[in-house]
Amino acid sequence: MKAVILAGGRGTRISEESVVRPKPMITIGSQPILWHIMNIYAAHGVTDFVICLGYKGYMIKEYFSNFMLHAAEAVEIDLASGTTTYGRINTPNWRVTMVDTGEDTQTGGRIKRIEPWVRGEEAFCLTYGDGLADVDVTALIKWHRQQGKLATVTAVSPPGRFGAIEISGGQVSAFTEKPASGHQTINGGFFVLSPRIMDLIAGDDTIWEQKPLQTLARKGELAAYEHRGFWQPMDTIREREILEQLWSTGKAPWAKGTPATA
């Protein structure tokens, strides 16, 4: 199964970083968040990727074109012979197709543009290039097949914005730092889709999260896979810092199966 990653948006809410590079190339540790997302899928055997490029997409092309240079701990270049030797590198067994889907194309339009790469597939995975989770992709795909719908969305509880106070007898008994909201679920990405959903996308101006998803829901063709574990978007510098701290302290919930050399 292929995994399609939407990586073409401008990331205006994290403009401090995205002004110089596309949002999926903002780093967590030494690697871009795009690499982390791909490892989530690879840990479940999904290693064939289609990346939808847009804003500053050439930087993503450059990253994968020179992946060994970026990933190697040591690089030895013999200027006399013109040979390059890469030391201590764990190269993932990935196939990466990068498709220019336009600077200003909406999310639905980007999906429509990669139709030739998923045509004929039973289904394909799809997610956004700016969020991490410890989603069990194997269970997600199994759930999609069991439901027999055209589409499955992963439903998550968003992280809370504020700390929660628990009160007992007029006193604060506990203070929880930004718990999950719990009372609502939202679109967390990590879709599994039949290629037949392409018929619901009119063109470049179609926003996937609006008419196509609404139509699928109205027709009873949108299943929900409920994920109660870790899920964190990266819309702001503060959210990037949360992910960075988890990674740097070895507590990243999404990192199962991630190469230790990263």
Reported as a single tens digit per residue, the pLDDT across 136-145 is: 999 999 999 9
For residue 100, what pLDDT is reported?
98
Least reliable range by pLDDT among 24-28, 42-46, 169-173: 169-173
According to DSSP, the residues that pair with 96 across neighbouring strands are 49
Sign, CA torsion 102/23/227/259 = positive
According to DSSP, the residues that pair with 222 across neighbouring strands are 151
Least reliable range by pLDDT among 1-10, 82-91, 214-223, 238-247: 82-91
Q: Alpha-carbon distance 224 to 205, whole Å?
A: 25
For residue 262, what pLDDT is reported?
44
pLDDT category at 10 given cuts 50, 70, 90 is: confident
Phi and psi, residue 256, nearest 5°: -60, 125
Least reliable range by pLDDT among 11-20, 173-182, 223-232: 173-182
Contact 261, 90 (CB under 8 A): yes
Query: Which one, of 98, 91, 93, lies nearest residue 71 by Cα?
Result: 91
Q: Answer yes or no: is pLDDT of 245 > 50.
A: yes
Q: Alpha-carbon distance 145 to 224, whole Å?
A: 12
pLDDT category at 16 given cuts 50, 70, 90 is: confident
For residue 89, what pLDDT is reported?
79
For residue 258, what pLDDT is reported?
54
pLDDT category at 221 given cuts 50, 70, 90 is: very high
For residue 257, what pLDDT is reported?
54
Q: Answer yes or no: is pLDDT of 92 > 50.
A: yes
Q: Alpha-carbon distance 29 to 245, whole Å?
A: 9
Q: Alpha-carbon distance 109 to 99, whole Å?
A: 12
Q: Alpha-carbon distance 21 to 227, whole Å?
A: 30
Tens digits of residue pLDDT in 29-86 = 989 999 999 999 999 999 999 999 999 999 999 999 999 888 888 899 999 998 999 8
Q: Answer yes or no: is pLDDT of 217 > 70.
A: yes
More confident residue, 91 or 177: 91
Q: Alpha-carbon distance 112 to 109, whole Å?
A: 5
Contact 60, 66 (CB under 8 A): no
For residue 260, what pLDDT is reported?
40
Residues in the chain: 262
Contact 187, 151 (CB under 8 A): no
Task: Round the CA-based radius of gyration of the chain to a whole number and report it.
Answer: 20
- What is the β-pairing status of strands 124-128 and 2-7? parallel
pLDDT category at 87 given cuts 50, 70, 90 is: confident
For residue 14, what pLDDT is reported?
76
Query: Domains plus CATH for the chain?
Result: 2-156+183-255 (3.90.550.10)
Q: Alpha-carbon distance 228 to 32, whole Å?
A: 25
Question: In the predicted model, what is the mean pLDDT of the chain?
Answer: 89
